[in-house]
Amino acid sequence: MTTTTDTPRRGGGRALALAFMAAIIEGFDLQSAGVAAPKLIPAFGLQPNQVGLFFSAATFGLIFGSLLGGRTSDAWGRRTALILAMLTFGAFSIGTAMVSSFGQLLAMRFLTGVGLGGALPILVTIAAESCAPQYRGRAVAIMYAGVPLGGAVASGVAMSGLHGGDWHMIFLVGGILPLLLAPVLRLMLPPLRVPAREETGMTGALGQIFAPAALPVTAMLWVSFFLGLIVVYALLNWMPQLLVARGLSRPEASTVQVLFNIGGIVGSIVGGRMLDRDNPLLTVAGCFAAAAAALLMLALLPASVAGMLVGGTLVGGAILCIQSILYGIAPRCYPTAIRGTGVGVAVGVGRFGSITGPLLAGAVVASGAGPEGVMYTLVPVTLIAGLATVFLLMRRRGAPALV
């Protein structure tokens, strides 16, 4: 199948549905370490610095995986690349459940991260190419909504105790699910290959990404992804601790985290619809302003359970709304032959934000600013990401690289 990927294709709805299923599994596995940590840490007797390495190992794997996954999807086809990514993080998630030393644990989490990182840019590309260009925003948003849904499932499992307190079970389930989906993808997902006449090597792809006409777009896309993921991961990693510091119990904080993910599902879909408007500039700018306002609201709300439940839901919806917008914009920045590479590199750069975010939040807390200080710090980060995104939208008509 070698039809151009910039036209609607047969089986597009099926491709989007399969990408959504894969995104749910991705979201579950991304949060599996956090779910398993309370039991895994005492089981291995991990010290605080070792806990940090445990979480960071997968994050560094995500960076490498994003770069590999995007390029592989251009070279070998979206389907083949996605199956390889799913098999990778499935196998090494199961491997995580079987480790007997801290060194093995780090290796398994790094390799799991490589698979997870590889899958996301491929899923973004598949979703974008499953429909006509004017519907790409909502298609990517529908796919991306699966990530917080999977995260909500993982958080729900932690709250319900369905894993029976056994940390091994979390990683086993997270590993078996992608292995079960892989043959379904092989049978039902269209190949989604780049036409042979458009194939571009790695050097040629990077040359186009950094070409003078495309460089301003590439730079602003990277800035947007980097700053956006600072906000997302600062909240994902620190929100439970910040809520406990404000007086909530740990079960109450976990409930807020679940609602953060549920709000994110709705926000993701809203973001995609905003992006598909004929003139999305003002609405997208409004989404970033609303996200900044939501962070301020969470900082100013009284420390009551009801207030935090509402605030957590709204913040999740607003923050993942803008993240959905960014994932929806990225495939539009590059032509078919280098789309996977371009999206993969942007996501990989953004992953450095996922490392910076928790460190930034930790530094703010250590300075004595408290939970409110973290929210105040993330407000300007969100607004600068919004300015970069508005710049991208303003360049759409003038930049040849955009489609």
Amino acid at 259: L
Here the tokens at position 398 are 């003038």
| Residues with Cβ within 8 Å of residue 321, at least 6 apart in sequence | 264, 267, 268, 270, 271, 274, 287, 290, 291
What whole-number distance in Å separates Cα of residue 371 and Cα of residue 366? 10
Based on its alpha-carbon atoms, the radius of gyration of the chain, rounded to whole angstroms, reads 20
What whole-number distance in Å separates Cα of residue 182 and Cα of residue 178? 6
What's the average model confidence in pLDDT over 364-384? 89
| Residues with Cβ within 8 Å of residue 147, at least 6 apart in sequence | 23, 24, 26, 27, 30, 120, 264, 268
In this predicted model, what pLDDT tens digit does every residue of 141-198 receive, in sequence order? 999 999 989 988 887 777 776 666 688 988 999 999 999 999 999 999 987 776 655 5
What's the average model confidence in pLDDT over 334-349? 89
Q: Are 153 and 245 in contact (CB under 8 A)?
A: no
Amino acid at 286: G
Poorest-pLDDT segment among 15-19, 48-52, 232-236, 291-295: 48-52
pTM flag (> 0.75): yes
Q: Quick one: what percent of the chain has pLDDT higher than 70? A: 92
Here the tokens at position 90 are 């499935």
- Give CA torsion, residues 309, 58, 28, 120, to 10 deg: 100
In this predicted model, what pLDDT tens digit does every residue of 61-104 receive, in sequence order? 999 999 899 889 988 889 999 999 999 999 999 999 999 999 99
Supply the DSSP string of 18-69, one letter for each residue.
Answer: HHHHHHHHHHHHHHHHHHHHHHHHHHHT--HHHHHHHHHHHHHHHHHHHHHH
Sequence ranges of the domains in the chain:
12-395
Q: Using the predicted structure, report yes or no on whether residue 278 has a pLDDT greater than 50.
A: yes
**CA-CA distances (angstroms) from residue 185 to 119, 136, 336?**
13, 21, 21
**CA-CA distances (angstroms) from residue 12 to 262, 277, 289?**
26, 21, 33
Residue written as token pair 């790409």: 136
Poorest-pLDDT segment among 153-167, 205-219, 277-291, 307-321: 153-167
* CATH, domain range 12-395: 1.20.1250.20
